[in-house]
Amino acid sequence: MQECDLPEMPVCDVGADFPMEIAERVGERGYDLLTMATGHVSERSLRLMDWLSRRWLVRNGSRYLAEIEALAQRSRSPGIYYLNASYEWGCTTAARPSSDQSAALLQRTLDWDVNGIGRFVVAARIANPLGSWISLTWPAFTGVIQGVAPGRFAAAINQPTLARRVGVLTIDRLLAHHQLWRSRSIQPVHLLRRVFETAPDYEVARTMLQSTPVSTPAIFTLVGVKADQTVTNERHSNATSMMEDAYAANEWRDAESCFGHYPAFENDGRLAAIRAASAEWDPELAWVRWPILNRETRLAMMAEPATGRLLVRGYEAGVPATQLLMLPKS
């Protein structure tokens, strides 16, 4: 399929209540992500997980609960609370100086085992007193997984693989859920949203991502406007490991600060490939190739906060699913 035959990625100019605004604009299509992400789960199980997720959000005093409740009321099927209280994906991310050392770049792919969502990525341009920022997101999703705030910073989350505590996957999953249920800390996806909403610059964003307790392990990668403002932050609930060598996939690099973990798909290969990728601004996203690009890749982006430049494309089954979006548009 030719590039011109692919759908354009929507750009929505919205306010602080962007999840609801996006859902209202796209109508029923706004819940396609919910349908695709939860299609393998029975309605009875979804209602139970919704109840548990809402209870957890209420207990933890989530500042985004009202949005999630409003989205759930609009939905024809259960799952909104569950969708916004859990996440499972893989990613490959690099934060590096640009080739001429004048700025910093964020390169990022998102892998998610949910077919179809690469077609439904939305670039939400969100008004903010600190300056508008862009979240690459989906309708009905209240967190932030990746984004760029021109003149401030860009950031993305990678999900680390499950900790290997007893060596039996089912039991280790239950232990991880038990740890989440006991936590009273903020979800990583909502912490990153708060950072974009409130941090005026790279240094404040770095401190927030480093010091704010989180409910589940996460890997944050952050770039500022200067070439030396790059960091990967491997986070546990109350511990952190900072790496100026800012490359991330889905296995912990700092083995001393964590349990053993289950292996991630092509982790070493993806990490080596993103390290070797060019630091040139690449309007073709030529660095997005195997094993960085695979059948579960749903999004690829390149961002330069110093200039506000952004490139992003949706993917399905290892091929482009949307036209390349370039912001600001030429």
The reported pLDDT for the residue numbered 135 is 98
Q: Which residue has the higher pLDDT, 205 or 260?
A: 205
Q: Tell me the C-alpha distance between 221 and 228, whole Å.
A: 13
- CA distances to 5, 16, 118, 217 from 174, rounded to whole Å, are 45, 35, 30, 15
The reported pLDDT for the residue numbered 3 is 75
Range from 52-61, 174-183, 243-252 carrying the lowest mean pLDDT = 174-183
* Residue 285 CA, distance from chain mean position: 19
| pLDDT surpasses 70 at 301 | yes
Ramachandran area for residue 64 (φ above 0: left; ψ -120 to 50: alpha; else beta): alpha
pLDDT in tens, 134-179: 999 998 899 999 999 999 999 999 999 888 888 787 787 777 777 8
Which pLDDT band, with edges at 50, 70 and 90, does 30 fall under? low
- Compute the average pLDDT of residues 292-306: 97
| pLDDT surpasses 60 at 257 | no
Q: Tell me the C-alpha distance between 299 and 312, whole Å.
A: 7
Range from 86-95, 141-150, 204-213 carrying the lowest mean pLDDT = 86-95
**Domain residue extents for the chain:** 11-18+89-327
Q: Which fold has domain 11-18+89-327?
A: Penicillin V Acylase; Chain A (3.60.60)
The reported pLDDT for the residue numbered 259 is 64
pTM comes to: 0.93
The identity of residue 275, as a single letter, is R
